[in-house]
Amino acid sequence: MLELYGQNLSSRLLLGTALYPSPAIMAEAIKASGTEIVTVSLRRETSGGKAGGQFWSLVQSLGVRVLPNTAGCHSVSEAITTARMAREVFGTDWIKLEVIGNHDTLQPDVFGLVEAARILASEGFDVFPYTTDDLVVAERLLDAGCRVLMPWCAPIGSARGPQNTGALRSLRGYFPGIPLIVDAGIGRPSHAAAVMELGYDAVLLNTAVAKAGDPVTIAAAFGKAVEAGHEAYRAGLIEPRDMAVPSTPVIGMAAFS
Amino acid sequence: MKVLIRGAGVAGLTLAHELATRGAEVIVLEKREEIAGNASWQAGGMLAPWCERESAEEAVQTLGRGAADWWEEALPNQVSRNGTLVVAPARDVGELDRFGRRTSGFSQFGAGEIAALEPALAGRFGRGLFFAGEAHLDPRQALLALRDKLLGIGVRIDFGRCAASGFADIEVDCVGIADRRSELRGVRGEMLMLRTGDISLARPMRLLHPRVPIYVVPRSDNLFMVGATMIECDAAGPITARSTMELLGAAYALHPAFGEAELVETGVGVRPAFADNLPRVERDGRNIRINGFYRHGFLLAPAMARQAADIILGNRAAKEFALEPHR
């Protein structure tokens, strides 16, 4: 059972709500994936008007927990303002904190991220920081009050899959008790299974599902891959060897020549 | 048969045309004082069922295929059948493969073919997808021409009115986002109009980008319509600085000449959409509603007008027109 800020969850897949062909397909994909947490963006989906109106109502009707994010924020103050608005609009202390440092790569500004995390944690937010795979930044985020870490495995939307498994392993090794969620860069179910096999607690996806040929089918596929990777990690994987080892015992067999 | 239509956007006027040319007596009520200003007025006017398949269901392609013919028959000389050219900046050419995997009806073009098709873009793009069967029109000219034609064939259009009773056998609501039912949501779209004589284009261009895909549609008088954002929100307020920057940045990436263009207009429309982003014709006794065109007003209004006219004039049963999402 996965526990995030005191909430127990049986699904280890989190889904974003942007970029789907239609809200109806998004809703079907969310159901098919089995996810219990969806991220929503305050900036684009709900700015002005009636707080997202029907789109927000549809998300609410799915009966999943909502994790608002500060997507598109480029400064600490912008991220904090967005987080406070999100708390009002969505009625939750959960916030996925993004402070973007580079417009092209959407790489997090880790200095601003730590600063914003500290302020938000002190205001009682449960912060889910979108960070790089840097170990020292991870330590600073935990010092700042985060109880969950969300490192990328590749740039947002790039679909490249895990780029630096060494760094991801290192994070897992250093923070055995902290929920680690791979946030960005997953392109296919095998990527999701691979990071789960490293012992990660969950995976967050959006583009890989929303922009796939059939979002509903691939959402189900991702749900299975995440589960398979997690089960594999729990079971204990064998280590690769340089030489072949027969799987059928040969000692004691009759030898013919 | 007397029919009252509420709304003089693309849905209402195409239906009025369909009914009037089949012999019905039609009145259109429009609450605005003129045609200008509704969501249809802000439209791109691309008749691009194959390109739209990239993000839309198959029904959009199926229903939209006949749109160019319908418009050409209704309004001769309004439709340009020059196709659509889809390109991507050099570092995003992978987006072309993705777009191509999700669509059909195109040819792969190289730099030479792109230059032959659109000389203004010579040397700027090494690859593109050309959708030869697509067309476009100027939505504003088309709406005004349709209004004039309707008036000429005896349709009454009352501006500044939305209520009437007792006249009609059938009443049809084509009011777009003014229909406040909870199943309908608004999807905000923002656009720009640029004017420059420095380049000319013969057809709509789509510039693919992972974050900010845009289209540029050439219009008369050196005008170019640049669109359009898609924001899950029903606010109709002015365009945001961010959207303006994104649209202008993308137009500039298509051709630097747009950097010197005059920004003559910004526009915002709220598209009415159901959860599946497909339009519906719904009947309840003598009341009919046509709504949910999302970003496909000019593309799908002819097909929906035909369906509604068939229902109204008793040619076919309403239930035959339930739109099933195809996947």
What is the structure's pLDDT at B321? 46
CATH topology of domain B84-132+185-273: D-Amino Acid Oxidase; Chain A, domain 2 (3.30.9)
Residue B211 has pLDDT above 60, yes or no: yes
The domains of chain B are located at 2-64+137-180+276-321, 84-132+185-273
Give residue B324's pLDDT band: very low, low, confident or very high (50, 70, 90). very low
Contact by Cβ (8 Å): B25, B2: yes
Interface confidence, given as ipTM, is 0.79
What is the distance between the alpha carbons of residues A124 and A9, in angstroms, rounded to a whole number? 21
Beta strands B127-131 and B107-110, pairing class: antiparallel
Cis peptide leading into residue B261 (ω within 30°): no
CATH number, span B2-64+137-180+276-321: 3.50.50.60
Stretch (H or E) spanning B141: helix B139-152
3-state secondary structure of B53: coil
B94 contact A CB<8A: no
Residues in chain A closer than 8 A to B184 (CB atoms): 54
Residue in B56, B233, B276 nearest the CB of A24:
B276
What is the structure's pLDDT at A54? 75
In angstroms, the first-to-last Cα distance of chain B is: 38
Stretch (H or E) spanning A131: strand A126-131
Give the pLDDT confidence of A222-231 residue by residue, as tens digits. 999 999 999 9
Residues of A with catalytic function: 96
Give the pLDDT confidence of A191-224 residue by residue, as tens digits. 999 999 999 999 999 999 999 989 999 999 999 9
Q: Which has more confidence, B94 or B146? A: B146
Q: Residue B90 phi/psi, 5° resolution?
A: -50, -45
Q: Are A24 and B275 in contact (CB < 8 Å)?
A: yes
Residue in B56, B101, B237 nearest the CB of A21:
B56
Residues in chain A closer than 8 A to B276 (CB atoms): 22-25
Q: Are B57 and A23 in contact (CB < 8 Å)?
A: no
What is the distance between the alpha carbons of residues B212 and B205, in angstroms, rounded to a whole number? 14
Region B58-75: what's the mean pLDDT? 96
Residue A50 has pLDDT above 90, yes or no: no
Residue in B210, B232, B275 nearest the CB of A45:
B232
Residue B33 has pLDDT above 70, yes or no: yes
What is the structure's pLDDT at A16? 95
Q: Residue B146 phi/psi, 5° resolution?
A: -65, -40
Region A40-66: what's the mean pLDDT? 73
DSSP string, B231-260: BS-----PPPHHHHHHHHHHHHHH-GGGGG
What is the structure's pLDDT at A100? 95
The CB density around residue A246, as the number of other CB atoms within 10 Å, is 6
Q: Which has more confidence, A247 or B153? A: B153
Window 157-196 of B: residues touching A by CB (8 A cutoff) are 182-186, 188
Q: What is the DSSP letter of B275?
A: T
Name which of A46, A47, A56, A206 to mutate to probe chain B: the one with the most chain B Cβ atoms within 10 A of its Cβ.
Answer: A47
pTM over 0.80: yes
Give residue B326's pLDDT band: very low, low, confident or very high (50, 70, 90). very low
Residue B327 has pLDDT above 50, yes or no: no
Number of helices and strands in chain A (H, E): 10, 10
Region B218-245: what's the mean pLDDT? 92
Q: What is the DSSP letter of A11?
A: -
In angstroms, the first-to-last Cα distance of chain A is: 56
What is the distance between the alpha carbons of residues A235 and A215, in angstroms, rounded to a whole number? 30
Min Cα–Cα distance to chain B from A51, Å: 7
Q: Which of A120, A129, A132 is nearest to A147 (CA)?
A: A129
Window 202-221 of B: residues touching A by CB (8 A cutoff) are 210-211
Q: Are A49 and B186 in contact (CB < 8 Å)?
A: yes
Residue B209 has pLDDT above 50, yes or no: yes
Per the listing, tokens 């790569």 go with: A105
Residue A125 has pLDDT above 90, yes or no: yes
What is the distance between the alpha carbons of residues A92 and A112, in angstroms, rounded to a whole number? 23
B260 contact A CB<8A: no
Min Cα–Cα distance to chain A from B45, Å: 20
3-state secondary structure of B188: strand
What is the distance between the alpha carbons of residues A198 and A161, in angstroms, rounded to a whole number? 13
The mean pLDDT value of chain A amounts to 92
DSSP string, A140-203: HHHHTT-S-BEE-SSSTT-----S-HHHHHHHHHH-TTS-BEE-S---SHHHHHHHHHTT-SEE
Q: Are B183 and A54 in contact (CB < 8 Å)?
A: yes
* Percent of chain A topping pLDDT 90: 79
Tokens of B45: 């006017």
Query: CA of B327: which chain A residue's CA is closest?
Result: A214
